[in-house]
Every structure is written in C-alpha cells, then in structure tokens.
Structure 1
Amino acid sequence: MASGNLFNNSSEFVQFNTLQFQTNDENILGAWASCYGVVANSNILILTLPQINHPNVSEDVKNNALGEAHLMRALAYFNLVRFFGPVPIVTNTADHIQNPQLNTNRVEDVYQFIENDLLFAVDNLKEKTRGGNYKDNARVSSGSAKALLAKVYLYQKKYTEARMMAEQVINSGEFKLLSTEVPGTEFGDLFLPVYNNNEESIIAWQWMPGIYFYGSSLNTQYAGNKNLTEASYAGVVGPAQDMINNAFEPGDKRRKETFMLPGDFYPKLSASANFDGTGAVTLGYTMPAIDQDGGTNFAQGSGAAMKKYVIGRSNPAITGAYTGASNGFTSQNTYILRYAELLLIHAESIIGSQTGSTSDASALASFNKVRTRAGLAPKTTITFDDVFRERRAELAAENDYWFDLGRIDFAKAKAILENQDRGTKEFPQKITSLPITTLIYPYPANELLANPKLREDPVPYIFN
C-alpha cells in the first residue's frame, strides 16, 4: 500500500497513503512480531534437531529439516532488514526472554547472516524437479534457497554472485513459467488454489482453508464485493490510481489479471447474483458497470477492483472447498518468490548496475520470457529501468514494489512517490513533499519501550 500499488481510504491505513509512519501502528508492530516469531521458531529447530537420535529419523531427514529452518530464518531476517534496517540478530531466543535489551546489528552483518543461512540451506535441502503433482512441490528445495540467495545478492548489488546463483537455478530446469512453458495454463492460473505449488512457485506460504487465521484472507480483502466471497465483508483494499494508470503497457495481459475494470470477464470465478452475497452462485463473472451504490467508484473509490488473489465463491474444482463459517479463509498460496521474478533478477544482474543497459543474449532471453508471456513485444536492448518497470507489472500487489523503491537511489524513489496519484478516482491526491528521508519503517513503540538499545547505533555482529 505504501508503494502506491494498493489503496485503502480508512483512518487505519492513512499513514501508508501519506507515508507519515507512526511507531504505535499495529501493522508495523505486526511486521516486526511476525518476523521475530519465525526467527524464534527457526532457532528452536536449529538448536534441537541435531540432538535427535532415533532410528526412524535419518540424517537426511534431519538435514533437510534444518535446511528448511535456516531458509525460513533467512527469509524472516531478509524482511526485517528491508522493513527496519539495522535489527538485532538473535540465534537463541531463550537467552533474551528475561533481558530483551540488545543492540541492533549493522545492515551489512544482517545480510551476511542471511547469506550464511541460505548457503546452509542450499547444501542441506533436497534437490527436486517440479512436476504436475503439485502436492509434491509444496516444500522448499535447494533450488528455492539458491533463488532466494540470488535475490539477496541482488539487493546488495553483488551482481556477479546474483547472476551465478540465478543461472544455477535456471540451468537446473527445476522451475517453469506457467502458460508459455506449461501447456494448458495461463498467467491468471497462478492465483487460483487448484494451481497451488505449480511449476513456477519457488517459495510460497501454505494456508489451511476454513480455519480462522490459518487460511488466507486475501480473497476477502481484495474482492470488490461480497458476491465474490464467502465472508461477511469485502473490498478492504482497491487498486491505487497510479497502478491503474501507469503500471501496465497497452495490451499487457497481466493488467486484467491484476485488477478488474467494468466489463472484464473471468470464466473461472464464481459469484452470487447480488452484491450482498445473496442469490444463485454461478461460474463466470463479469465486473458490472455500476457498483452496489449505483455509482462507478467500486473498491475504495478506485473505479476498479483487485483481481490478483481473488478466487471467487467456493467452487471445489477451482478454489478448493471453503466456507463462510470463518469469514471465508481459503487455501490460496501467497507467493514469496516466483520463477518469473528469478528471470528478472537474472536479467538485472547481467546489466550489473542501476544505470546500465545490455544486449546480452542470456539477459534478453530471461527478460523477454516474462515480457512475451504478458503479450508484449520482446526488446533487443534492456536498461535497469526496463527491468524495474517489468518487476512492477509482473509482481504488482505481491508485496515487492516498496522494497524495490527502497533499493534504488532515494532521490529517484522520492520523485516516483511524489508523482503518484494516491487518492480516489474522483478525488486525486499527491504527496507534495515526501515526509520521510528513507524507505524503512520506524521501530515499533512497544519494542522501543522494552529495548531502549534500539535507539543506539548498530554494532558489529560477532560471527563464530
């Protein structure tokens, strides 16, 4: 939302529209707490698994489980360092329960810690080839760790290492693009539960349908009206005006699969006859010309509605079975990393800077695979800005654009953010002067109270 891809007009999320972040915001606290929760659980596994000595638990099984734990801890710290900058590195959570006051560590040390965890995961996770039996694809692999490591290298501008790791994954043949490399599929299938853990999925959150907070709520959050949900509400977010008007080139097939406009038809979505969720449920949905209020404002006043991660009413053949008993929580995976992104990482790593360009054949091959799947003409030369724009279109509403803005020159990011229309369809609004000087969030107020050392300068981490 802060990046200008999504929009919510309520007071709860206003700071993500204005970028006037508050330390007492529950969403910022949630980001911190959830990441450190993953760190704590990973630490327990990393410390206790080696102690298991049972004839039914082989070393291969233990090593693979340890690889998973190291990957998850790395992912948590990757999110923490991108959200907050310097953060404390904790390897034994129990050591700090009684005294949670500890210094933050330098950003470069956090990244080194992430690299170390991912290199361990590369060496200990199983290798696999993704196939049509999607249940077998759910767990991460050595290739998953390599792909995430390529992204981590890219964020540090370690272009040679990022290219090497990306090419190892590409050359392995483990992953494929849906649609162009998997016959009988299309781009929009990426965001339907029947295609969970498909050939393109590298890392994804796995959800349990019908159980409150164990399932994904994105169908409810993103669907424009209750007729597309099994819940008591809908339309918590809508597409932002800047994404509607500037993220996609004419003819880009991804636009229709990212957000809906009146008249768009979706043959795989089931919806009820009435906006309030009542009436007969039928397969095949056309976004109407008039919204439930008799106007054309639709979700959050955007004049449109989200499509990505919207799966419609329960239809077991497409969505899996889920109900309204727990507000329509679904089994739809949430992507952390897709093969399409890895191809763009590969192309960017060959460009090798945020100002350069290339006509390298392998860079063009990776870039144009993503672009031509979207129905766009291939390019013969690409710049960093080409890849940057392609990343926004490909990964829109997948929680990456804010981080992409955070890794480019701040003056450039500032200009992009100040040029965005961050209002509604009827009431445009811009940030005339960006109120922040860096694209990282403040530490949560509760954490600052519990650990005043967060205010101190970061210290080097002592690696064993």
Structure 2
Amino acid sequence: MKNNIFILLLLFLSASCSDSFLENAPEDSLVVDNYYNTNEQVKSAGAPLYGYPWFYFNEKFLICVGDNYSGNSTGTYSDIAQFTLFSVNQGNQFATEGWDALYNVIGTANTLLYNLDTKVSGDVDEDVLESVRGEAYFMRATAYYYLVRTWGAVPIIHSMDQYNAEADVYRNTVEDVYTFILNDYAMAASRVPIQRADSEVGRVTQTACNAMMASVYLTLKDYANAKAQAELVINSGYYGLLDKFGDVFHPRNNNSRESIFALQWVANQGWGYANVNQAYLAASPKLTNAGDGWGTFQPSIDFQNAFEDGDLRRHETIMEPGDFYPDLVTAEGGYTVPEAGMTSTMAGWRKYVVGSKDEWEDVGFMSTNLNTYIIRYAEVLLIHAEAILGTSASTTDAKALESFNMVRKRAGLAEKTSLTFDDILQERRMEFAVEGKYWYDLARMDRTKAIAIISNQERGDYNDGDYDDIITRKVTPSAGDFLLPIPGSEADLNPLLLEEPVPFDFNN
C-alpha cells in the first residue's frame, strides 16, 4: 500500500533573526552531506524545528480546535464555522492543514535524527550532537501530543524506512502513542541542557521536557507523575510569572522567565516564518495598519460572560466597547474601542495583537515575531494544583493553593482557600484563551460533564449590537465529536487509516 501521507521537508529551511539562535542557518541549504562538520553547523541544523514546519499548525488550526471548538471563540468563515457548530468534516481545510503540519514537524525531526546518525563529522562534540538529537525527540513528541488528543489513534512514524512509498501505514493505538510520546520526552530530557546560553535562549531545556511530561501525565490522569514533573520545573528556580499579564504577549518579552517552550517566529522574512495570528485576531485594520486585522476569530458571548468581576486579564484578553488602549494606534494617542463594537459579538481579541509598526518595528502584513506559547509557567502552576487535587472533590493543600493563587493574584482576583476541579478549569480557561488549551481540557474531563458545559454555551451573536437581543446559537456535541475525523485527502490516499489501530512495535 502506497504511503502518500507525509511530505518530507528539506531539513535546512532558511531562517534568520537578529540576536537569535535562528540566525545560524546554513548558507547553502541544499548541501546536506557537507554540512554536519562543526558544532555550529549541527546546532543550526536544529533551528528550523522551532518555526517553519509548525506554520500551518499555528496559522488557524490551533485556535480553531483549541478555542472555536471549545466555545471560547467564534467565526463565520465556513471552515471555521464548522468548529463552532460541531460539524467538522473530512474536507475541513484547517483540520487538514493541522494534520499536515504536525506530520511535517515529525518528518523534519525524523530527518534530523537520521542525518545526525549518518552524516556527522568526528569533529563535532558529543554533548552538542546529543543536545540537538534531544531537540528532535522533543519536537516529535510535542507533535504527537497534539495529534493523539485531536484525532486519537494515529500512525507513529519514527524511521526513514517508513517514508518508502510502498510502505503500509496503519494507525497505532492511543495507549501506544502516549507511551511513544513519553519515551521521546524522556530521551529529550536526558540529552538537552538544564539551561541555555544567552545566544540559545528559546531552545529546548530539561525543564521544558518536564513541563510537557507534566501536561501529558495530567491528561492521562497519572496525578503522581504530573505532580512530580511539575515540581521539577517549579523547584528549578528558573521560571516565574511576569508582573503584568498583558506583558506576556508582546514580542519584547519573547523567551521571558514565564516562557518554558514557545514556537519562535521571524517577521517579514517570507510566508511561513512569521506569526500571522494578529491578522486574524485583531478586529480592526486600524490596529495593525498593515492591510490585515480582519477579526476572523471573535470572542464568544459565552467566553465574555465567563470573566469574574475584577479580573485584570479581561482588558488584556478581549477588547470591548469603550475600552482604551494607550499602547495601540499610538500615532493618534491610543485606541478607544467604538461603542458600536468591533464584531458581531461586539468584542475583539486583544491577546496576541502587537499593533502596527508605530508600536513595534517587526510588524508587517500578516507578520509579527511574537512567539506562540506551547507551555508557560502559569500552566505548570495550574497543573501542579490539579495534580495535587487528583480525584478528590476538593483540596485545601497549601502547596496546591500556593500554585493556584499565584495565577489568580496576578489577575487581581481574591485568593481561594479551597480548590475544586471546576475552579481550576475556570482559571485555565481565562488564563489560556486563544492559546489552544480549552478544548483539550474539555476533552480530558468526564464526557457527560463536558457535553453539559458545551451544550449550555452561547455561541451566537448580538443582534445589531443590542446586548439585550441575542441571536442564540447553542450546540450539543455527541461523544463522537471529541475526536476529529481523519482528513479525507489522507484517507483517500491510504485507506488503511480507516482500519482499526494496531499496536506499535517498540522493539523495531
């Protein structure tokens, strides 16, 4: 059976960024055999893993799944609306792009591992070689973590032999995919350094592996291991929350003390290298002054109503009528949201909106250099609190409360003296909106409860800007909606993807 699912990327994708490890890409991107001769060449071989292969994952897929599917966000474009209405089909453009992107990350990682095994000069230091190998394991694990939570059983592609056009490719069981993920993170953790030099800030560290393993264990309801991995991060002393929530989402704070692992983008260097989220999240072209700012994604009514009174994150997450932003449209002294609102839900997204060149030089049409957070310290704190709670109805554990209340304190909210799962779920929803988290939280919880939460969400619009007149839109998902269908283009090329998943041979 021909395997046409995967596109092998060239390992050496050109990338450049001043004062960044990304600037060390090879001058001749096609001369692979003559490239792995020095420490710097091997280090630069890992740099493309941090951006380009992830592009279409980041462009719309992550928000579509993580936020539109979960009810945080809405959108009228047909393939986005499918997520809002729980009608995603096999031909959905953005689901297919997400699948392709994640397997491109895996293909890039597999290619790098192969080249490190076969093409490296004896002049390369072993610690450098192992560190870059660890980066490849980490990226492969992270791609599979998104794949298994989105589609369930998926093919584990780990060897160059599997890219043979005649190879049979089956899906592997969910249990084996998770085992493979944890194995890859463990292999990464044993190879990458504890800390990075200033020239390599943003590259994978041991604590990034710990943080991702904490998330995986939490998803698997292995609370003891989730707690242990989260505490490795917390006790490392390397991380902390920024003082102001809004500062987390500005490029000047890329790779700050709050960032544990983030995708790294380069502005104005061509399609595929920049973060394009601002183009779709900014609800007015005046905000970007670059020809975009389309408001493609809009904060849902349900999400707007979910904020507690006094939550400082509200102003830095969504833009509502009358809100003033002195740091946007600075050429006119700031920006006030019109009383008529910005979208059919009245509000627009503030998070991930950088502004125009007047506010930040590295802005262009569909282009900023703002990192995309995959996991940051606030999440590790909330993972830690939830892992201590475990299966209990509530907890007053001091350590759980300390971690949880650090996040609430920054948000300007009163500390809690007792925690439930609902408390943590609410905090995660408000903290991580449009970071692609909430759907995966709903999907890992009790299915009946998740369906009840979703069924009560208002996913509609305000009628002609009238807050008292809602064009209501509510949906009730089925159990089958908690996994997306395998993209039709992939199933057509390889019908084996529609057969029952098989165990993975870990001895192969």
Instruction: Tell me if both proteins adopt one fold, taking TM over 0.5 as the criterion.
Output: yes
Corresponding residue SS for 1:80: helix
Matches of 1:375 and 1:364, distance apart in 2: 16
Contact in 1 for aligned 2:141/2:181 (Cα 8 Å): yes
**2:217 pairs with 1:167:** no
Per the TM alignment, residue 319 of structure 1 is displaced from its structure 2 partner at its CA by 2.7
Other-structure match for 1:218: 277
Matches of 2:492 and 2:480, distance apart in 1: 24
Per the TM alignment, residue 238 of structure 1 is displaced from its structure 2 partner at its CA by 1.1
Letter in 1 for 2:326: P
1:223-372 equivalences in 2 (<5 Å): 223-233=282-292, 234-246=294-306, 248-270=307-329, 281-282=331-332, 284-289=334-339, 296-299=340-343, 301-315=344-358, 319-323=360-364, 327-353=365-391, 356-372=393-409
1:401-433 superposed Cα distances (whole Å, 9 cap, x missing partner) = 011110011111111111111111224333354
Other-structure match for 2:260: 202
Moved beyond 4 Å, runs of 4+? none
Matches of 1:288 and 1:267, distance apart in 2: 15
Matches of 2:333 and 2:252, distance apart in 1: 15
Normalising by structure 2, report the TM-score: 0.82
**Greater alpha carbon shift after TM alignment, 135-144 vs 383-392:** 135-144
1:280-339 superposed Cα distances (whole Å, 9 cap, x missing partner) = x345322222xxxxxx2422x111111000111113xx534233xxx2411011110010
Normalising by structure 1, report the TM-score: 0.89
Contact in 2 for aligned 1:194/1:320 (Cα 8 Å): no
Unmatched 5+ stretches in structure 1: 180-185, 272-280, 290-295
Matches of 1:422 and 1:100, distance apart in 2: 44
Per the TM alignment, residue 56 of structure 1 is displaced from its structure 2 partner at its CA by 4.3
Corresponding residue SS for 2:328: strand
Matches of 1:363 and 1:142, distance apart in 2: 23
Counterpart of 2:169 (choices 92, 96, 102) is 102
Letter in 1 for 2:220: Q
CA spacing shift, 1:283–1:60, aligned 2, 3 Å: farther
Other-structure match for 2:194: 127
Counterpart of 2:142 (choices 75, 79, 90) is 75
CA spacing shift, 1:369–1:50, aligned 2, 3 Å: same
Percentage identity across aligned positions? 41
Letter in 1 for 2:338: P
Letter in 2 for 1:176: G
1:436-455 equivalences in 2 (<5 Å): 437-455=480-498
Per the TM alignment, residue 31 of structure 1 is displaced from its structure 2 partner at its CA by 1.1
**Greater alpha carbon shift after TM alignment, 339-348 vs 426-435:** 426-435
Contact in 2 for aligned 1:259/1:307 (Cα 8 Å): yes
Contact in 1 for aligned 2:277/2:366 (Cα 8 Å): no
Contact in 2 for aligned 1:200/1:340 (Cα 8 Å): yes
Other-structure match for 1:405: 442
**2:101 pairs with 1:34:** yes
Per the TM alignment, residue 103 of structure 1 is displaced from its structure 2 partner at its CA by 1.4
Contact in 2 for aligned 1:226/1:232 (Cα 8 Å): yes
Unmatched 5+ stretches in structure 2: 1-67, 464-469
RMSD (CA atoms)? 1.7
Letter in 1 for 2:348: A
1:342-390 superposed Cα distances (whole Å, 9 cap, x missing partner) = 000000000112x521111111110000111100111111011111111
Corresponding residue SS for 1:204: strand
Contact in 1 for aligned 2:196/2:205 (Cα 8 Å): no
**Count of residues in correspondence between the two structures:** 432
Matches of 2:172 and 2:366, distance apart in 1: 41
